[in-house]
Amino acid sequence: MEKNGLHVRSEGLSSFHFEYKTEKIRCRLREKNKQVRRPKTKEEMRWSSGQTWTQVLEPTGNLVFTLEDYFGYDSRLRREWLETKTRPFEEMVPDIVATLILAGPALVKLREEREAESRRRAEAERLRQIEQARRKKERNQWRSLVEHAQRHEKAMKVKALLAALEGTASDRSAMIGDRALTD
């Protein structure tokens, strides 16, 4: 394992991991249990609703080795090995080792793909924000132009009104509102 860059690290009684470069391949070795029915005790029957048995887990004596990491959609790496009476755990070790050797590079590739996707998303978001800012600037420029045109139109109407009043007003002392026409 170490020749292939894998170093084992313990995480507890049944959990451990192999380190490959910066990746961790989490593993677990446990005993397989099976569900069996057993008759309820007298104490359990006191609280029972008529059922005379209960299901419990019992150890089988067979080991299960599991790789707990995800290796990607296209990965064909096996993730679990179950010891049986016809195939003891010792016979599965070469297959497990071969899978672990492939799992390290698979995790590196998966991490690199995730990082590349993250960079693509960040770049797309950056470009979207730039485009949004450009459109906002255009809208603001258009709004400013329309407001300027409206002010110009009002000024032209007022100038036209004043010119018309000056040309037609015979009585310059006439009042408009509370002000004289000359004002």
136 falls within a domain: yes
177 falls within a domain: no
- Count the helix, strand and coil residues of the chain and give each as a percent rounded to the nearest 5: 50, 25, 25
96 falls within a domain: yes
182 falls within a domain: no
**Mean of pLDDT values over 25-41:** 87
**Mean of pLDDT values over 2-13:** 84
91 falls within a domain: yes
pTM for the full predicted model: 0.59
**Residues near 126 by Cβ (< 8 Å), separated by ≥ 6?**
none
Examine the pLDDT at 172 and tell me if it is beyond 70.
no
* Strand 6-10 to 15-20 pairing: antiparallel
Report the domain count for the chain.
1
Q: Indicate the pLDDT class of residue 39, thresholds 50, 70 and 90.
A: confident
175 falls within a domain: no
How many angstroms separate the Cα of 142 from the Cα of each of 5, 30, 135, 145? 62, 70, 10, 5
**Residues near 114 by Cβ (< 8 Å), separated by ≥ 6?**
none
pLDDT, tens digit, for every residue of 128-151? 999 999 999 999 999 999 999 999
152 falls within a domain: yes
Tokens read off for 4: 């292939």
- What's the domain range around 63? 1-168
Examine the pLDDT at 169 and tell me if it is beyond 70.
no
Does residue 183 sit in helix, strand or coil? coil
